[in-house]
Amino acid sequence: MSARWNILFASMVMLVVAVCVCLVGATSISPSELFAAATGGASLSESDRAILFQLRLPRIVAAAFVGGSLAAAGVGFQGLFRNPLAEPYVIGASSGAGLGVAIVVICGLRASIWSIGAVASLAMLGSVGVVMLVLIVGSLARTTSTTSLLLAGVVISSMVNAIVSALMFLFDQKAVVILSWLMGSLASSHWGTAILAATLGGAGMIGIGLLSRPLDAFALGDTASQSLGLDLSRFRWLIIGAASLATAGAVAASGVIGFVGLIAPHMARLFVGPRHAVLIPMSVCIGATLMLLADAVARTVIAPAELPVGIVTALLGCPVFLWLLLSRRTGASA
């Protein structure tokens, strides 16, 4: 099957999963009731209609954009650092965004700039600031650039996490709110959350998609990519901005989720290969599908209580990823 057909199939799977997760929850909705509600029928009660349109649908839209944004950011960071282990959480972008959200929660900031709230603004600033710090520290090291950048990301991410932990200790009355962000949750999603994730995440995904050809050239190495006419400094700033924007949108909507940005690009490469023009949309579809499934499990497995969705993404994604890796190896050796 060609890469384009794989992407089309993944898109259809994502849409089918989105429809299916609409039906499950503490209040079950049948497919006929969903169809009647979508076409203006009156088979749903007022309470079920409110659950579907005011609670479940915005949460599903937010989950899809959060998963897609983290997956696209993972592709961008892995291309920028030329390392398959790079992703928003490892590089520190998620931690920086989490620090920004923690500051907003502690200070009680409610201001907005150009209709962008304090949470989104500080999350984006924290994400961009930490990635810039990683690049500066990594460029000062004497080891190979890729290794030093990755190590700088791990160290600075740990430092930022320590700062967030210290803030939680000092402002213990806000600790529960901050901890819910750090564990990742879509429980409080509404249409405003969905619009925020769609706006920031969508802009980040589009930006990364527009850089697919430069990402292909950059993968050849600094010398080769420069010989092809790529402005390395400009490219790095553009990919940092786009990936940080996507990460900030996801963290502002759902908190820190540290697994989708790593696993979705790897799963996508198994189906469409490394060319970024097809890898990015495939990763977005897989990331969105993973988040939709993980959120459905998070809100139903111990209903009426909920699990943090970050725990579920790891529990669901690890076995699938290992199965794909082992299947590929078995197929190659056959």
CA angle 253–88–302, rounded 5-degree value: 50
> What pLDDT sits at residue 284?
96
Tens of pLDDT along the chain (334 residues) come to 677 888 999 999 999 999 998 888 777 777 777 777 777 666 667 777 788 888 889 999 999 999 999 999 999 988 988 877 777 777 777 788 778 888 888 887 776 655 566 776 787 788 778 878 887 877 776 555 566 777 787 888 888 888 988 888 888 777 877 777 778 888 878 888 888 889 888 999 999 999 999 999 999 888 888 888 888 888 888 888 888 888 878 887 887 787 788 889 988 988 998 899 999 999 999 999 999 999 998 888 887 778 888 888 878 767 766 776 676 555 555 5
Sign, Cα dihedral of 172, 177, 179, 182 = negative
pTM of the full predicted structure?
0.85
> What pLDDT sits at residue 211?
94
Q: Where are the domains of the chain?
A: 53-318
> What pLDDT sits at residue 13?
95
CATH homologous superfamily of 53-318 equals: ABC transporter involved in vitamin B12 uptake, BtuC (1.10.3470.10)
> What pLDDT sits at residue 208?
95
What's the rounded Cα separation, in Å, for the pair 302 and 26? 10
